[in-house]
Amino acid sequence: MSGLGIDWSLVAGAIIFAAIVTPWRVWRRLWRFVRRMLHRSRRRRRRLATPGAYRSRKPAAAVDVSAVRLTRFWVIDGDTIKDNRTGAVYRLANIDCPETGERARCYRERRHGERAKFEGYRLLKGARIITVQPTGKIDSYGRFIAAIDLDGRDFGQSMIARGFAVPWRGVREDWCGPSGGLEMMARSCSANFWCKTCGASSTRDQYGAERPPPTACGEL
């Protein structure tokens, strides 16, 4: 007992017991919430440190939100498209794809990022009418947040249905690991995916039925 009448050993034991009995999903959600709050705090501090630079990136009244017909394009990655005619870079508002190049955190993320980039190019190349609808927002990289329709079909939803993207939740997805975005992509397209590099795996189909993992590292 201390002077305040608190048995700190009991307090420590209660904390350890709560940590043991709490489901891992709760800790994962708590970690994602804390990470989101830290990300917003860092952005707020940078904005306060350099107010002029960030003020110029905020959406202004002059930002054109009218629909744009895309005829010449360059696919930067699965969720970022450049209009070669005007030089504008559009970031899809509703999806997140694995990173490519040096931005990828592991070999598997880089490889599937390249595959998502190729699939995005294939869908755009096969469309007769590509319509870009800006939302009026600009991200911290200067990209216009927009939705893209291919012959009346949503480009982002097509990427998700094919297993090359996940829905955008406001923060960059953790792609690696047994609960990362690569596994979510595998589940969305019912692919049997097992990555020995980063541990991402999917041993259940979209209906929840158990299936045995493959003997070698599978691909989406």
**pLDDT band at 217, cuts 50/70/90?**
very low
List the structure tokens of 75: 């696919």
Strand-pair partners of 48:
none
Q: What is the pLDDT of residue 104?
A: 77
Residues with Cβ within 8 Å of 16's Cβ and at least 6 positions away in sequence, in order, are none
Q: Is the same domain home to 49 and 129?
A: no
215, 168, 178: which is closest to 199 by C-alpha?
Answer: 178
List the structure tokens of 63: 């930002």
Task: For residues 212 and 220, give the distance between their C-alpha atoms in angstroms, rounded to a whole number.
Answer: 16
Query: In which domain, by residue range, is 76 found?
Result: 68-170
Task: For residues 183 and 218, give the distance between their C-alpha atoms in angstroms, rounded to a whole number.
Answer: 12
**pLDDT band at 47, cuts 50/70/90?**
low
Computed over its alpha carbons, how large is the radius of gyration of the chain?
A: 22
Q: Is the same domain home to 27 and 105?
A: no
Task: For residues 81 and 78, give the distance between their C-alpha atoms in angstroms, rounded to a whole number.
Answer: 8
| Among 51-55, 85-89, 105-109, 145-149, the least confident range | 51-55
Q: Higher model confidence: residue 44 or residue 178?
A: 44
Task: For residues 197 and 219, give the distance between their C-alpha atoms in angstroms, rounded to a whole number.
Answer: 12
CATH number where 96 lies: 2.40.50.90
Q: What's the structural domain count of the chain?
A: 2
Q: What is the pLDDT of residue 73?
A: 93
**pLDDT band at 215, cuts 50/70/90?**
very low
List the structure tokens of 192: 């049997």
Task: For residues 109 and 102, give the distance between their C-alpha atoms in angstroms, rounded to a whole number.
Answer: 11
Mean pLDDT of the chain: 75
The tens digit of pLDDT for each residue in 63-103 reads 667 888 999 999 999 999 999 999 999 999 999 988 887 77
Whether 56 has a pLDDT exceeding 60, the answer reads no
Q: Is the same domain home to 132 and 73?
A: yes
The tens digit of pLDDT for each residue in 182-210 reads 666 666 665 555 555 555 554 444 444 44
Is the four-CA dihedral 32, 38, 43, 47 of positive or negative sign? positive
Q: Does residue 3 belong to any structural domain of this protein?
A: no
Q: Supply the pTM of this predicted model.
A: 0.56
